[in-house]
Amino acid sequence: MSQNIYDNQAFFDAYGQLPRSVHGLDGAPEWPAIKAMLPALNGRKVVDLGCGYGWFCRAARELGASSVLGVDLSAKMLQKAREMTRDSAIEYRQDDLNSLTLPGECADLIYSSLALHYLPQLESVFQQAYQGLKPGGWLVFSTEHPVFTCSPHQGWLVDDQGNRFWGVSDYQAEGERQSDWLAKGVIKYHRTLGTTINCLLNAGFMLRHLQEWGPTTRQIARLPSLAEEAQRPMLLLIAAQKPGSRGDEE
Amino acid sequence: MSQNIYDNQAFFDAYGQLPRSVHGLDGAPEWPAIKAMLPALNGRKVVDLGCGYGWFCRAARELGASSVLGVDLSAKMLQKAREMTRDSAIEYRQDDLNSLTLPGECADLIYSSLALHYLPQLESVFQQAYQGLKPGGWLVFSTEHPVFTCSPHQGWLVDDQGNRFWGVSDYQAEGERQSDWLAKGVIKYHRTLGTTINCLLNAGFMLRHLQEWGPTTRQIARLPSLAEEAQRPMLLLIAAQKPGSRGDEE
């Protein structure tokens, strides 16, 4: 069972102030990179694991998806998502991603943005995604990078010469990490990049693209605070595909 | 053209004192992990890119390989390899891995240990490995991990509370890094993990296994200095396969 931190009122309120909450996908600097990794969505069925306010669900419909299922553990997030959505082809469901059951071979794309690092384990969610995808279907997700999650004492350090570093430690010690991001005692899970990739391969997926997201020069010029994201990888973006052909493509 | 640092006498002499030079594969703590990633070698043709003293070439023969080609840029390393080898099924060739040409679809395994981070670019070596492998053949390699190579000021730092960290910086700035490891001005190349993986996928390979090597509890008990390798990933181990069947397997 994952911690339901988004239903904590203090966390929920603070989260609502983030650029990505106020401005949606345009407030998430990694969105252009993730968008470039998506398959064509015209007429496709989409599932969003950890849909939050439903920004991506609505974007997928604008990109032509025929239907979208958004899943989230947080009742508060789903209430907000429903308030923001006027579209009968988008369905929201409250569920824990670690015990979720999806209908077999139904989806063309399973998407997940910054949700998987809250899950105690990845095996079941990747297996569930695999069985829920049609042959040839895609799993595209972002998660916090292990260089970001590894240390129990997250932070920047400066050496004697004034050089600034992101501190890495405890990399091989996988498991729970507590941080005080937006609220006290937020629980996330550190896994090596190898563990995430091998888990994906073991579920049957083929890896198609891996990006350790960093800001473009233009993004830094527009928002100088993004510069530090070029110093250490904070986000991991992955596109994987279920083998086989969807049967409706040349 | 890669720097030929191994033909620098000071570097060559210092390298000869390392445990992995004196004791061969048993002196390389990552060897058991790499060995576990190898396909069965009985009757197989093997190429070793950056063979050094030829330790792996001889080990591959002991594991049943029918023939082994060892390639290295360093004349000194190859001279030592030839002195240590009495086996007409092992051939050594001096060549730059970035301009190497291998015969097409001949090899069952292409192996490379800690050589690729000396190469200015990866595309040509992965393309060459792909065309040199039989369908279903394997590419298994180790390289320095980008968390290790990224900072121009490599090292450990300690914070105010006495916590020790490996310093990460300049992660997205790919390219040349100079260090003074064994000799002054050793040139290596930093690439993000995403770049290495995507380069492999673009060449046509399927990723099969990715391991960010760390020491086992038993290895640390035997050699306590290995403990710091659990704090930050230093080595990246990868197994990839060329699609297709070798035609001689069930």
pLDDT at A227: 96
A124 lies in a domain?
Answer: yes
pLDDT at A184: 87
**For residue A50, which phi and psi values (nearest 5 degrees)?**
85, 60
Check if A155 contacts B (Cβ < 8 Å).
Answer: yes
A120 lies in a domain?
Answer: yes
A212 lies in a domain?
Answer: yes
Minimal C-alpha gap between A207 and chain B (Å): 7
Tens digit of pLDDT for each residue in B127-174?
999 999 999 999 999 999 999 999 999 999 999 999 999 999 999 999
pLDDT at A247: 59
Domains in chain A: how many in total? 1
B225 lies in a domain?
Answer: no
Q: Which residues have CB under 8 Å from A110's CB, separation 6+?
A: A46, A47, A49, A102, A129, A132, A133, A137, A138, A139, A140
The parts of chain A modelled with pLDDT lower than 50 are: 250
Check if B79 contacts A (Cβ < 8 Å).
Answer: no
Tens digit of pLDDT for each residue in B12-25?
998 899 989 889 99
- Rounded to an integer, the average pLDDT of B181-192 is 92
Residue in B17, B106, B114 with CA at minimum distance from that of residue B56:
B114
pLDDT at A2: 83
pLDDT at B246: 64
A130 lies in a domain?
Answer: yes
Question: Model ipTM?
Answer: 0.95
SS3 (DSSP) at A11 = helix
pLDDT at A250: 39
Contact A159 B167 (CB under 8 A): yes
Q: Report the distance separating Cα B66 and Cα B30, nearest Å.
A: 25
Chain B residues lying within 8 Å of A192, measured CB to CB = 212, 233
CA angle in degrees (0–180, nearest 5) for B184-B31-B105: 95
pLDDT at B183: 85
pLDDT at B248: 54
Q: Of B159, B168, B211, which is closest to A194 when you measure between CB atoms?
A: B211
pLDDT at B250: 39
Domain that holds residue A115: 5-145+204-241
pTM of the full predicted structure?
Answer: 0.96
A172 lies in a domain?
Answer: no
Say if residues A173 and A96 touch (Cβ distance below 8 Å): no
**For residue A21, which phi and psi values (nearest 5 degrees)?**
-85, -40
State the CATH number of the domain containing residue B81.
3.40.50.150
Tens digit of pLDDT for each residue in B58-99?
999 999 999 999 999 999 999 999 999 999 999 999 999 989
Alpha helices in A65-215 (DSSP H): 75-84, 123-132, 146-149, 193-202
**What mean pLDDT value characterizes chain B?**
95
H-helix or E-strand containing B90? strand B90-94
Say if residues B212 and A192 touch (Cβ distance below 8 Å): yes
Check if B243 contacts A (Cβ < 8 Å).
Answer: no
pLDDT at A246: 64
A64 lies in a domain?
Answer: yes
Q: Which residues have CB under 8 Å from B146's CB, separation 6+?
A: B171, B190, B191, B192, B193, B196, B236
One-letter amino acid for residue A108 of the chain: D
A193 lies in a domain?
Answer: no
Minimal C-alpha gap between A138 and chain B (Å): 16
